[in-house]
Amino acid sequence: MKNRLLIGIIYLIAGILLIVGPQTFIPVCQQGEKIMKCFWTQRAELGVGTLFMASGVCVILAKSELIRLGISISNVFLGILTFLIPFVLIGGCKKLDMTCRSITFPIFYVIASVTIIISLLNCFYLKKKII
């Protein structure tokens, strides 16, 4: 129960940070006449954050270790996607001193790294528990 609740809350927090963060305290660049790439990166991360929140709720509600293992495996890939969206797939502004490159994307990388590590640790924990 403790593991299930802790992991679920971590996924919920990661999802909330990816959804609410770029809208409030970790903003992307201001929009001018033209919508920049960082705006679309923010939108994509909003979708990933929604998936993290849904998986957090599922982890909390699921009693089966196999289901929680599957969710943790999928969240490893969601973490990788969280990392790849600003780094490779969509990107951001070209200037390194822009808000998206100096503040927002590094925070996305930290969130992605933490969720990948937590998900991998949970996978090993659940696999040991199942066997």
Are 84 and 36 spatial neighbours (Cβ–Cβ below 8 Å)?
A: no
Quote the mean pLDDT of the chain.
91
Structure confidence by residue, pLDDT tens digits, 51-78: 999 999 999 999 999 999 999 999 999 9
Are 45 and 86 spatial neighbours (Cβ–Cβ below 8 Å)?
A: yes
d(CA 131, CA 120): 17
d(CA 116, CA 113): 5
**pLDDT of 38 above 80:** yes
User: Where are the alpha helices (H) located in 21-104, listed in sequence order?
Assistant: 37-61, 65-84, 99
Print the domain residue range for 122.
Answer: 2-23+33-130
Number of structural domains the chain divides into: 1
Q: Is residue 117 part of a domain?
A: yes
d(CA 71, CA 3): 14
Out of 52-61, 68-77, 85-94, 109-118, least confident range = 85-94
Contacts of 17 (CB under 8 A, 6+ apart): 26, 49, 107, 111
d(CA 41, CA 87): 10
Q: Is residue 37 part of a domain?
A: yes
Helix (H) or strand (E) holding 10: helix 2-20
d(CA 112, CA 52): 11
Name the residue with tokens 């969710």.
71
Q: Is residue 51 part of a domain?
A: yes
Q: Is residue 28 part of a domain?
A: no
**pLDDT of 36 above 80:** yes
Q: Is residue 40 part of a domain?
A: yes
Q: Is residue 63 part of a domain?
A: yes
